[in-house]
Structure formats: C-alpha cells, structure tokens
C-alpha cells in the first residue's frame, strides 16, 4: 500500500466521505486531496472546506461546476431526448462523468497516484466514476472504500468517527432523512427507507422540490422557450445561460407539481432498485424539445434519432459517457440539431406539461399542403393510389401465393 502517496477524494463533507478521509490516511498512510463539486445540489458546499481542514487536509478544491454541468452534459443529453427504460431522465447518471473528469484533472494538477469515491459496491455510481476515470487516465489507481472496509451501516460509521475523533455533527446526523438522496441541478433522487418496499407509497413530506399536483395552483401557467441548435437559450424572451435556464424551469415546474417519478429500474450491476425522482425542469425540457423537433426535423432523421436514443441512454446510465461510441452518437445527434431553432409555448397545470404552440423559421410544416381546405393543387391526391399499391405489392404477391394471414386458413 505504500506506493499510494496522494489520493484525490470526491468529498461531500458528509458522514461517509469524512470517514473516508481518515480511513485513507490511516489505511494507506497517504495525503488526501478533497474535491467538492457544486453542481446545483441546493446545499452550501463551502462548509466542506472547513470540514476538510479539520481533518488535516491541506489541498482542498471546492468548484462551482453548474454552468459546465448543464452546458456540456445536460444539454447534449437532452438533444437526444434521452430517457432510460422509458421513464428515467438520468439526473444522477449524467453528473458522474463530470465529477470523474474533474477528479482526474485534479489528480494531474496535484501529482496524485489515485482517486477515491464514496459510492457503494451495490450501485451504479462506482461503475460510472471508475469507467470515466480509466477512460481519461488509464493508469490511475482507484480506491473504493466501501469495497474494502468492514463498515456497513450509518451506526458503524458514527462509531468510527467517535473512535477516531472525527468532527461530525452527530445530532444533525441522527436527524438525517431516512432516504439516500442525490441532488444536482437536473434532479433530486430518493432511495432506501420505506421505498425499499415497491408496494409502499412515498410519503408526501419526502418530496423537496415540488408541490403535489393536488396542491398546485388552480390556474395554469404559460411559458415560452426559445431554442437555438437544440438548446434552450431564452425563457419568455429573456436570454439565459444553461444553468439559469434549468434553475428557472425547476422553479416553475416544481410550483406546478411537475416532474415527480416513482420507478423500479434495472441497475447495471444486475439488481432491480426502486427510486423516486423529482425532475421538474428536465420534464419540461424533454416535452418542449420534442415539440421543437416535430416542426423542424426531417421525418427519417427524427425516427432514426428515436431508434438510437435507447442505446444512447444505456451508455449514459451504465457509465460510458467517455466512450468512443457515445462520442460517435453525439456527433450524429448534434448534426441533426442545426435546424432545431424557434420557440415552443407550453401550458403547465397540476403536474402536466402541454405543448400549445410552436414556431420556427426552419419549420418543415407546409400549411398549403397540410390543409383540409382547398390546397390549389399543391398536393395531387390521385398520386396516393399508386403509392399505396406499390407499398402493398409484396403483401399482394404473398396472398396470391396462398400465404394467408387469417387464422385457420
């Protein structure tokens, strides 16, 4: 173990990672560098600096990554209309490649031999962090304490703190939510507690970002999103940065009871897991982006994107953001977005997002052809007869050869 002289730890300042700081120091006899990322989790990150100092850490990184997170990770993902297993908007998954990237950057800056994280051996995050790290720095050493130590519960962690004089607010920790939560600008997730019973309904006081649809205003809210190359650049005509856009959409979405989700998903490591998610801004973004594409994308391009999306979603969920295949898919997706420009108008009401208008200078909608009124010869309806017969030709031939599709024939 002596070959490990310095480790960069993804540090939240909470119980788990505070224990990991001391455990790394004692187990590996190494110097620990802490890295705390502000990706919009809604909590102060600066206190982590003081906690790290109290643990004897000399090199401390506390970085505001909110704009980079939304601009370089969330926005590219939403250009693909990405959802995992038909429901999950990948709020935790898409944050991990950014954290992995920054861990490696800091390792390079500080000359560290290894990186470390607080992900457990049961979850997806260990895979996401480590796949990203190995892709960006093949020779890096990864230390995952939950796969090495014999601490298995919050109680054992707190006992370790008392034994090793680790400064932790035990009173507040005992009041901690019964749920395992992860938050960033895109979402907040809840696991554990009563949620481990997939039949049990989530308690109303669990939710933090949204009101219930029943408690949402009785008056609908309207919002207009301006798009450029597939990304939202303005809300109600006001230009905003990516992080500002998502912050605003979270606020208006949460106020209207939008974005709650309760699912059982298939983890990459093999088990099923029940989780609840709040993704108000992301839910609005997905609906609006599809509306913008419906007006501007060629039919076959749109359909091809829909075919590729599940593969793209799996890559993100499973931790392959930094893979060559994800990069290849991203290039194709981004190429399609050059014409995804314009404005979408939405109505938000009690948990629902309804598209009520869309317009674009790049629109492929031709009213003179689509109209049910007199089209002045823009479309010759007689052409449809040959089109239908040609498309039916293979089926007509098969039927004439006795290959009936009727049961019993």
Angstrom distances, CA of residue 248 to CA of 40, 166, 257, 281, 283 = 12, 39, 14, 8, 13
Question: Is 16 considered catalytic here?
Answer: yes
Phi-psi region of 402 (alpha: psi -120 to 50; beta: other; left: phi over 0): left
Collapsed DSSP state (helix, strand, coil) of residue 17 = helix
The 3-state DSSP class for residue 58 equals coil
Pairwise CA distance, residues 335 & 36, whole Å: 34
Q: Which long-range contacts (CB under 8 A, 24 or more apart) does 157-160 make?
A: 157/15, 157/16, 157/19, 158/15, 160/19, 160/22, 160/23
Distance between CA atoms of residues 167 and 270, nearest Å: 36
Q: Is 256 within 8 Å of 351 (Cβ atoms)?
A: yes
CB contact at 8 A, 193 and 179: yes
| Residue closest to 48 by CA, chosen among 96, 94, 16, 25 | 16
Q: Whole-angstrom Cα distance, residue 244 to residue 248? A: 6
Find the catalytic residue in 22, 66, 79, 96. Answer: 96
Among 71, 141, 180, 262, which one carries the catalytic annotation? Answer: 180
Catalytic status, residue 96? yes
Catalogue the active-site residues. Answer: 16, 96, 125, 180
């Amino acid at each position: 173990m002596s070959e490990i002289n310095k480790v960069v730890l993804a540090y939240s300042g909470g119980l788990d990672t505070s224990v990991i700081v001391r455990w790394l120091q004692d187990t590996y006899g190494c110097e620990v560098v802490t890295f705390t990322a502000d990706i919009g989790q809604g909590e102060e990150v600066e206190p982590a600096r003081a906690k790290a100092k109290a643990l004897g850490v000399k090199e401390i990184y506390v970085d505001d990554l909110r704009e980079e997170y939304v601009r370089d990770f969330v926005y590219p993902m939403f250009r693909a209309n990405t959802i995992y297993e038909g429901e999950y908007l990948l709020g935790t998954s898409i944050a991990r490649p950014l954290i992995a990237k920054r861990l490696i950057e800091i390792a390079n800056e500080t000359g560290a031999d290894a990186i470390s994280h607080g992900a457990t051996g049961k979850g997806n995050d260990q895979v996401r962090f480590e796949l990203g790290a190995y892709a960006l720095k093949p020779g890096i050493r990864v230390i995952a304490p939950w796969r090495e130590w014999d601490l298995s519960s919050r109680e054992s962690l707190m006992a370790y703190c008392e034994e090793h004089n680790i400064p932790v607010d035990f009173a507040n920790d005992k009041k901690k939510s019964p749920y395992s939560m992860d938050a960033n600008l895109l979402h907040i997730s809840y696991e554990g507690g009563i949620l481990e019973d997939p039949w049990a309904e989530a308690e109303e006081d669990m939710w933090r970002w949204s009101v219930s649809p029943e408690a949402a205003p009785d008056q609908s809210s309207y919002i207009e999103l301006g798009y450029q190359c597939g990304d939202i650049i303005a809300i109600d005509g006001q230009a905003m940065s990516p992080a500002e856009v998502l912050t605003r959409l979270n606020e208006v979405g949460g106020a209207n009871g939008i974005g709650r989700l309760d699912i059982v998903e298939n983890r990459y490591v093999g088990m099923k897991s029940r989780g609840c998610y709040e993704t108000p801004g992301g839910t609005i973004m997905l609906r609006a982006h599809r509306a913008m594409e419906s007006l501007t994308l060629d039919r076959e391009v749109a359909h091809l994107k829909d075919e590729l999306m599940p593969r793209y979603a799996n890559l993100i969920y499973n931790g392959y953001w930094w893979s060559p295949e994800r990069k290849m898919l991203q290039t194709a997706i981004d190429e399609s977005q050059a014409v995804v420009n314009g404005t979408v108008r939405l109505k938000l009401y009690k948990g629902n997002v309804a598209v009520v208008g869309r317009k674009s200078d790049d629109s492929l909608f031709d009213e003179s052809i689509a109209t049910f009124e007199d089209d002045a010869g823009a479309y010759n309806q007689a052409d449809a007869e040959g089109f239908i017969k040609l498309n039916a030709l293979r089926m007509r031939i098969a039927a004439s050869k006795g290959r009936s599709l009727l049961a019993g024939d």
